[in-house]
A and B are shown apart, each in its own frame.
Chain A
Amino acid sequence: MTAFNRVAETMAYKTITLPSGLTVLVRPMPGYSAVHAIYATKFGAIDRDFTVNGKTVHLPAGVAHFLEHKMFESEDGDAFSKYAKTGANANAYTGFDRTAYIFTASSKIDESLDVLLGMVGNPYFTEQTIQKEQGIIGQEIKMYDDSVDWRLMMALFQSLYEHHPLRDDIAGSVQSIARITPEMLYDCCTAFYRPENMVLALAGNITEEQVLAACARAGLDKPRDPVEVRRIFPEEGPLPWRKEYEISMPIVQTGFGLAFKEPPLEKGNLKREIIYDLLPDLICGGMTPLYRRLYDEGLVNPEFDGETLLVEGATCVLFTGESQQCDRVLELLREEIARIKAQGVEPELFTLVKNQLYGEAIVDMESVVDAASSMASAHQHGRTLYQGIQTLAALTKEDVDRELATMLDPETSVVVRVLPQKS
């Protein structure tokens, strides 16, 4: 068997679409004790305006995250106490474009699956339970208010976008979550928690039969009435809302961010998506001359990094770090971006970064958590993991150089500084 065939085998998992519209992804992993399950919806913090069966809904910031918290409650008790009876370790998270409910368990898997599918499938909200949650989430919001990294990232989004809901914190604000009503939450459930908008991914000590039986117990094996949903995103121009912004916090070293507002990525353009993935490593990763110079001159620490965010209606590339000389770092970073756009990427570096991504894809299939997460994430991006690795294998330096010419335009860039507060 060749190495590439072995990779294909490693990346394999079963995909089943149930009559209800739910997509189920299953990857049995022989020899493993635990199972990781993810039940995720394509509904996140940026989904603020939509129509559902003709009704127009406008949400205040933070509803997706609030709903995630509330899903753990039902008329017959909270899900955590039900999971406690199975020994599962459960949690949930909300991102800009998705919400996921997860558990890891090594026994009573069927029972844990029933809890997971039951809690998400049978929402229960009242004025009283909503009020109680506002206190806990208020604390969570305040915790993030003290995080330098989070404040920096939000300030970058608020500088890049004039209207896009990326401007607002995932958890919203104390004021915005005070406006949440049970009706809003039920509308979100109807629109986005319908099976065809969701994926159930499992990896580990599990069989396809077990999963399908759990879905049947939850009624997910039957067709559902169709629901008409239209997401509404505000028009957003190509240029950033403001070029520079500063905030201050009780810190001792300046944090900085340079971000580029890219044209939203069209669906299915996997090649460009992968190039966005490679960009930070090609520009300022540990193997680049730029990183070495910044590191040796003491201008950045190892946390200096880049990342790309791809969501509906918005694509952006962010470079963040902290430095005593952040303007010098920004100058060198801009110079390197201009150089690489003009001269193309270094061939050896391109091959090595590609190699690295190949290795990471294999490593991602090793743990039950990473495997299920990768499967669900790929599905929500409209592809399979194997399609991802195939596209990577076919990618050439010329592809990258060509696409790079249309990326990272200085006109679309913004700078944010987080300055130490004067005492």
Chain B
Amino acid sequence: MERVNVGPGVYLTRLEAEKFNRQRIAIHFQFPNLREDATAAAVLPLVLERGWAGCPDMTRLSRQLAKLYGANLGVDATLNGGNRVITVDISGIKNEFALEGEDLSGEYAKIALGVAFRPYLVEGVFDPEAVEIEKQKLAQRLETEINDKRLYCVRQARRIFFSGSPAAVERDGYLEEVPGVTPQTLKAVYDRMISTATIDVMVQGGDGEEVRRQLEEYLTGLERNPAPLVENLAMPATETLHREEYFDMVQAKLCMMFTWDKPMSAADLNAARLAMALYGGSVSSRLFLNVREKQSLCYYCSSTCSTMTGAMVVDSGVEPANAKRAEQAILREWENLKTGEITDEELEDCRRSLLSGMDAVGDSLEGEENWYYMQICRGEPLLPPSRSKEALLTVTREDVRRILQGFHYSLGYLLTRKEAGYDSL
């Protein structure tokens, strides 16, 4: 593994990929997620994915990828706390499997770096036709958000919980702002990204030297002024708020949001991992064993937490008439872990499951890349999972309690039938 600086705020990381059948290149652009640019920044990946200067046509590009034995190109946006990450990635089979001896590595590098650094422009801005089509796609996606009730419930809860913070800025932008996105505004957002983002190019297998050569070529002449990224954040503790929304649905969805009140640090990570495994992140967890299996109060009930936002989310699908009971049961399990007994057996069962998961990180290209990129985002040195395993082995039940005790219950968001809300119970 090697990470080198190839320009202001631009890094190239090479990872071993000997055992895999594929090779992969990922180009991450990370930058503060500004409210005013959110909608254009949501349209950007959709337009970039359609083509680039070397192959502007979307269908031709699909055919080019198929010719490379179904290489997979993606341009996606994710949020890291108050930052937005736009990732261009390509993966495909290694050269040795090419039936005609083609240089697949070189083609992958050309396409991925081309999509990232040489978009197809018409008179200096993005193609107006492509922008209009992709704006329509984004609008449709935003309009149909309620079709997936589980996801919708979590999103609604996050909107209230993170209100006023950089983490509240929507990944997919805002429906009412879609018409205002133009080829010009999109180009301005792209230019800001190219100039100010922290850029991490991760290469797994393939020809790392060729990627570096092409990358350096693109960087030549680029004015780079990397902007400081948004630090880890946490919402202030507030009195618990309950909100309901009504749909004619069979199973109610309950999303509970908790804040740690102060930003978490990278040092809290392993304790937080074990705390989640114990509370609701595994089949050995209290929420799974007690709330689901013993009390049959929900079909799914799981907890996750993010050190970047200091937030814990408990997401569950419940019988509408049981929503209040489910909420109380979820809170009871949290209380029990904070102050009650945590047996050696359950602690070690959960630790074992996490250790096993860390062992398997290196068995997938995407898993391995994500492992190291997350370390980069957290500002940590790049260490293999084996080093995190050592750290995880030192986490005590007191560390776990400290994490769980640090949370405050801020919001319960319930999606249910009209006659079965909190108030009617």
Contact = CB atoms under 8 A, between A and B. Distances in A.
Interface of A: 3-4, 6-7, 10, 29-34, 80-81, 83-90, 104-107, 132, 135-136, 139-140, 142-143, 145-146, 148, 204, 250-253, 286-287, 289, 291-292, 295-296, 298, 301-302, 322, 348, 352-353, 355-360, 362-363, 365-368, 421
B349 A84 contact: yes
B265 to A, nearest CB: 27
B347 to A, nearest CB: 11
Contacts of A30: 19
B209 interface: no
Given A139-B318, A296-B133, A298-B140, 13 more contacts: A3-B98, A10-B97, A32-B363, A34-B363, A84-B350, A136-B293, A139-B298, A142-B319, A145-B250, A251-B144, A253-B144, A302-B137, A322-B144
25 contacts: A3-B99, A6-B97, A31-B18, A31-B19, A84-B283, A84-B349, A87-B356, A107-B355, A107-B356, A107-B359, A136-B292, A250-B249, A251-B147, A253-B147, A301-B137, A322-B147, A358-B99, A359-B68, A359-B70, A363-B22, A363-B70, A363-B93, A366-B22, A366-B364, A421-B248
Nearest to B64: A352
A145 B63 contact: no
Contact of B356 (A88, A132, A291): A88
A279 to B, nearest CB: 16
A301 B319 CA distance: 32
Nearest to B297: A139
Given A143-B299, A292-B58, A356-B66, A105 B21 contact: no
Nearest to A356: B70
Contacts of B335: none
Contacts of B97: 3, 6-7, 10, 359, 362
**When A and B form their complex, which 6 residue pairs have the shortest distance between CB atoms, in order from nearest?**
A359-B69, A106-B359, A139-B299, A359-B70, A356-B70, A87-B352
B92 interface: yes
Contacts of A32: 19, 363
Interface of B: 18-22, 58-59, 62-63, 66-71, 92-93, 96-99, 101, 133, 136-137, 140-141, 143-144, 146-147, 149, 247-251, 283-284, 292-293, 296, 298-300, 317-319, 349-350, 352-353, 355-357, 359-360, 362-365
A228 to B, nearest CB: 37
A145 B96 contact: no
Contacts of B136: 298
Contact of B359 (A34, A145, A348, A356): A34
A287 B62 contact: yes
Contacts of B296: 132, 135-136, 139
Contacts of A143: 250-251, 299-300, 317
Nearest to B350: A84
Given A253-B147, A298-B136, A359 B71 contact: yes
A33 B359 contact: yes
A80 B284 contact: yes
Contacts of A3: 96-99, 101
Contacts of A146: 149, 249-251
Contact of B247 (A81, A250, A365): A250
Candidate in A4, A29, A33 with the most chain B CB atoms within 10 angstroms: A33
Contacts of A296: 133
Given A6-B96, A301-B140, A355-B66, A80 B283 contact: yes
A286 B71 CA distance: 13
Contact of B352 (A34, A86, A142): A86
Candidate in A33, A359, A421 with the most chain B CB atoms within 10 angstroms: A359
A218 B62 CA distance: 49
Contacts of A84: 283-284, 349-350, 352-353
Given A86-B352, A252-B147, A357-B70, A33 B363 contact: yes
Contacts of B67: 352, 355
Contacts of A355: 66-67, 69-70
Contacts of B284: 80-81, 84
Contacts of A353: 66
B210 to A, nearest CB: 21
A139 B322 CA distance: 11
A367 B24 CA distance: 14
A352 B66 CA distance: 5
Contacts of A360: 70
B111 to A, nearest CB: 15
B146 to A, nearest CB: 6
Contacts of B349: 81, 84-85
A204 B58 CA distance: 38
A77 B141 CA distance: 46
A148 B356 contact: no
B248 A250 contact: yes
Nearest to A105: B356
Nearest to A298: B136
Given A81-B284, A136-B293, A148-B147, A287 B18 contact: no
B104 to A, nearest CB: 10
A327 B186 CA distance: 33
Contact of B92 (A88, A89, A359): A359
A247 B40 CA distance: 36
A93 B307 CA distance: 33
B130 to A, nearest CB: 9
A77 to B, nearest CB: 12
A359 to B, nearest CB: 3
B299 A136 contact: yes
